[in-house]
Structure 1
């Protein structure tokens, strides 16, 4: 983190400038056997493409609310950081009916139909694969995102004091507050440069967002994000910790 970092998007830019090749997020889905490792540069590329999709294709403007009906997943991390980059309000687990845009996984499509605005669906398949057929009423993220630009510049500079995150418990934070709170969480958890945090928490609580993305990012560490980790035996989980050189575990 640099002293000038005021938003979560600033944190990603600083990480990109410091060491773009280092691993930032390693994702496991223990129901499918998927493992994906993203460097800072790779995640930043997904964030840029997704932010361009938000701004240019979905016409999202600063202050618009984006309901993210998604599990803790590497693509969810890209969407969260894209929302912060574009100045829209990320609402993980938020009400679709109150959102300007909804982004849904395959298990929440019916709930997402309540959104009166644009609707995007993610198949959440290994390697970011698309749906065999886009769900009715939705665009398929895997179809729409590849053609987006690799560099993102918001039409309007992001105001660090504007709302940036709304959680299901009603907590509302500005971009500056998200960044400051992430720094506090990193300090409280003992995260530092080189820390490798295994998290099995969802992204619809502050604890899950902090452990699974924001606190390691602000500290210069990395994340091992695990979905369906209950499929693993304690012995298998311990082997993963050793193989991934995990320094902190949050379950």
Structure 2
């Protein structure tokens, strides 16, 4: 259930007016480029896994570097072209966020939890490998281990993301311009163009009262628009950042309160 909560600046404070620093951007990749130009050193994604104790913090620059490498892998090694459909079988995770922006950079349609048999490519976590084998195109597997670690034993029929991505280039240029009005994302049966993703993310950010410097803690899964928006797109569109938590329901309330304080969280969605 989507229940956004604010930690206001003061009782009775007026709603924040969303700073439209990215008003001309029409794709999620555009939003990332603008964020990189504005302040590359600020945090963008802070990830927690409350089963393993993992914590990863990525600045805008570090996140953008991962996106560039992944987009190069997608375009050059996997042969993806604009309009191709990629079944993204990943949980809420910092590497999932990277793949969403890499798809946007190339113009590939990210079909979140989509049917691998109907996709041109599939990207799978360790728990969905049997289902991912239904894809007849290129297959990529992510171990989702701490520090982006690789599989101890590479899964048969899949490229190991952690093995393939480090050697990719740190800058990305698409072979063809990405059309903002072309399909870009499918989630929970809803298809959205790149421009619609950006506009809806801006609307959500405004409704959540997000702005530059906001820190949104999200425990929502990446299988609905609300989860994707809170866990990536709305903070990115507003100049804020996300504290993305996997398995947040396993964290005692006392520890959650400490996290909210230590991470300077201003808003929550869980």
- In the superposition, the TM-score normalised over structure 1's length comes to 0.99
Secondary structure, counterpart of 2:234 in structure 1: helix
Structure 1 SS opposite 2:40: coil
Q: Say whether 1:38 aligns with 2:61.
A: no
Larger radius of gyration: 2
Structure 1 ranges of 4+ moved more than 6 A: none
Equivalent residue for 2:13?
none
Separation in 2, partners of 1:204, 1:228: 14
**Residue number in structure 1 paired with 2:205:** 186
> Which has the bigger relative contact order, CA under 8 A and spacing at least 6?
2
Aligned residue for 2:264, secondary structure, equals coil
Cα deviation, 1:202-236, whole Å, max 9, x if unaligned, reads 11210001100000000000000000112211111
Aligned-residue RMSD, C-alpha? 0.6
Q: The residue matched to 2:217 in structure 1 has which SS?
A: strand
Question: TM-score, with normalisation over the residues of structure 2?
Answer: 0.92
Mapping of residues 145-156 of structure 1, within 5 Å = 145-156=165-176
| C-alpha separation in 1, matches of 2:114 and 2:121 | 11
Q: CA deviation at 1:2?
A: 2.2
Cross-structure match for 1:51 = 71
Counting only pairs closer than 5 Å after superposition, residues 134-145 of structure 1 correspond to structure 2 as 134-145=154-165
| Partner SS, residue 154 of structure 2 | coil
- Structure 2 stretches lacking a partner, 5+ long: 1-20
Report Cα offsets for 1:132-152 as digits up to 9, x if no partner. Answer: 111011010000000000000
Unaligned stretches of 5+ residues in structure 1: none
The match for 2:90 among 59, 70, 81 is 70
Tell me the residue number matched to 1:232: 251
